[in-house]
């Protein structure tokens, strides 16, 4: 029978709540600064990778993908997994979608996606940049929820996904809201920061002037952007793009996370309430070519006044409250732009180091085997004689090791070959590959020996 310990209920409740909060923060709601992914997003990408759903392969039913992820890595319900996968496939939610969806994955109007049994998906081309180096010992692995499988702690992302696609999430007492950015601008900023470690936020803003939302829009002023980048928190005002054409206002871009249908409904409501006067008609003419909302004006109306009222009373203008809250070294931290970029640079440096060490190990192992082949080819008649005379493989191995001064690995490689394969080995090809491996080894050692090259 277990021992019963007496404790104050408020102390137990406090500690239990702290444990719960940290579990949610680390395990579900806040992205990792390194790959910019929450656990469920990471598991979806890894699960699709395990299913072989690369960009060139056929799409697979979403229900199959959700089942793979839930059954092996994320036992928190199929709805949460599918909702996340849908978001990762929506071009109006992600600046660079990581999932290539086929079927109804929702719309900017707020239409709900089809059930998972109807839709299909595979990895988007850019998602391969998260997974290509996974098999080269580049990251740490951990047991899954029932200790039956291993999953990556983080993906070896080649792109700064945290800023590229942004992030949003609500945790226990914490929230994160990171806007997406243009990938080319981020890469330019990273290169500059690597060359100029003392760069200021203003220096970086020469290359990363501000967020780049998938739905477009115009950010009003630079002060809010600079404050957000400098402190990791701040507010920026985002307006939809609208132009005046004769007696019409044409809206072609809307603020991030605003549904087009909600905007149209809000305009209609304000016209009905009298807050906005001078509008005679309102039409949604959006099609596959892009978004287009037409606001017809009365002849007596002043277009600029109407447009300003649209900004004031409807979601055509909204405030984006940014919080750069991430998981760094296992703990939640609010970071500045420079700190996020430096964290990614440090992560990529570690990934490249581990990848190079792995490739060096593989190249050395192959060169070692090729050395054995070269010894065998130089003494091919004696090798054949020993193999034919040996009563079993153990005897053959012992004789080969003694006669040719081979290692266990070299001996095993030779014994695994049939005599016809052994005699058919071409000395020139072996020598060429051996020289190539020696060059690779020198190259990898040069990379590992120089922090600058690394």
Angle at 408 between CA 404 and CA 412, to 5 degrees: 90
Per-residue burial over 15-34, b if 16 or more Cβ lie within 10 Å, else e, is eeeeeeeeebbbebbbbbbb
Instruction: For the beta carbon of residue 196, count every other beta carbon within 10 angstroms.
Output: 11
Compute the distance between CA of residue 231 and CA of residue 310 in angstroms, rounded to an integer: 31
Compute the distance between CA of residue 153 and CA of residue 39 in angstroms, rounded to an integer: 9
Torsion of CA 402, 405, 409, 412, to 10 degrees: -40
- Of the candidates 20, 46, 94, 118, the residue annotated as catalytic is 118
Phi-psi sector, 257: left (phi>0), alpha (psi -120 to 50), beta:
left
Token couple for 245 = 């054409």
Compute the distance between CA of residue 389 and CA of residue 391 in angstroms, rounded to an integer: 6
Compute the distance between CA of residue 271 and CA of residue 99 in angstroms, rounded to an integer: 39
Closest CA to 80 of 90, 101, 96, 66: 66
- Based on its alpha-carbon atoms, the radius of gyration of the chain, rounded to whole angstroms, reads 30
Told to judge if 118 belongs to the known catalytic residues of this protein, a careful annotator would answer yes
> Cβ contacts of residue 314 below 8 Å, gap of 6+?
263, 266, 267, 270, 276
Bridge partners of 290, per DSSP, are 287
Closest CA to 87 of 155, 38, 32, 26: 38
Number of residues written out for the chain: 454
> For the residues of 39-84, what is the DSSP string, one character each?
HHHHHHHHHHHHTT--TTSPPEEHHHHHHHHHHHT--S-HHHHHHH
Q: Which helix (H) or strand (E) holds 130?
A: helix 128-131
> Cβ contacts of residue 51 below 8 Å, gap of 6+?
60, 64, 65, 68
Active-site annotation, residues = 118
């Amino acid at each position: 029978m277990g021992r019963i310990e007496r404790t104050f209920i408020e102390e137990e409740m406090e500690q239990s709540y702290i444990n719960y909060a940290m579990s949610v923060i680390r395990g579900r709601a806040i992205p990792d600064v390194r790959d910019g992914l929450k656990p469920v997003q990471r598991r979806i990408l890894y699960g699709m990778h395990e299913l072989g759903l690369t960009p060139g392969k056929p799409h697979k039913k979403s229900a199959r993908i959700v089942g793979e992820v839930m059954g092996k890595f994320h036992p928190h319900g199929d709805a949460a997994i599918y909702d996340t996968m849908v978001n990762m496939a929506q071009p109006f939610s992600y600046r660079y979608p990581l999932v290539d969806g086929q079927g109804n994955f929702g719309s900017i109007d707020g239409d709900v996606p089809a059930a998972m049994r109807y839709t299909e998906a595979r990895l988007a081309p850019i998602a391969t940049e998260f997974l290509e180096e996974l098999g080269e010992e580049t990251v740490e692995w951990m047991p899954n929820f029932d200790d039956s499988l291993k999953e990556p702690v983080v993906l070896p992302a080649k792109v700064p996904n945290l800023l590229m696609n942004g992030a949003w999430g609500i945790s226990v007492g914490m929230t994160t809201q990171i806007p997406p950015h243009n990938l080319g601008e981020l890469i330019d900023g990273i290169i500059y920061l690597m060359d100029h470690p003392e760069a200021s936020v203003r220096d970086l803003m020469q290359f990363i002037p501000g967020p780049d939302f998938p739905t477009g829009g115009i950010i009003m002023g630079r002060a809010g952007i600079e404050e957000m980048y400098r402190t990791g928190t701040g507010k920026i005002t985002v307006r939809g793009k609208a132009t005046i054409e004769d007696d019409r206002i044409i809206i072609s871009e809307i603020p991030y996370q605003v549904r087009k249908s909600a905007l149209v409904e809000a305009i209609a409501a304000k016209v009905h309430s009298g807050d906005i006067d001078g509008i005679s008609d309102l039409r949604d003419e959006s099609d596959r070519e892009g978004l287009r909302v037409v606001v017809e004006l009365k002849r007596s109306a002043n277009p600029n006044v109407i447009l300003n009222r649209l900004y004031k009373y409807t979601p055509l203008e909204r405030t984006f409250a940014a919080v750069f809250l991430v998981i760094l070294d296992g703990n939640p931290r609010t970071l500045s732009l420079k700190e996020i970029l430096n964290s990614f640079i440090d992560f990529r440096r570690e990934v490249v180091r581990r990848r190079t060490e792995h490739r060096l190990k593989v190249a050395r192992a192959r060169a070692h085997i090729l050395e054995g082949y070269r010894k065998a080819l130089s003494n091919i008649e004696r090798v054949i004689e020993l193999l034919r005379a040996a009563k079993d493989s153990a005897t053959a191995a012992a004789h080969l090791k003694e006669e040719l001064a081979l290692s266990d690995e070299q001996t095993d490689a030779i014994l695994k070959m049939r005599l016809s394969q052994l005699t058919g080995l071409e000395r020139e090809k072996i020598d060429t590959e051996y020289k190539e491996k020696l060059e690779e080894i020198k190259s990898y050692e040069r990379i590992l020996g120089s922090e600058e090259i690394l």
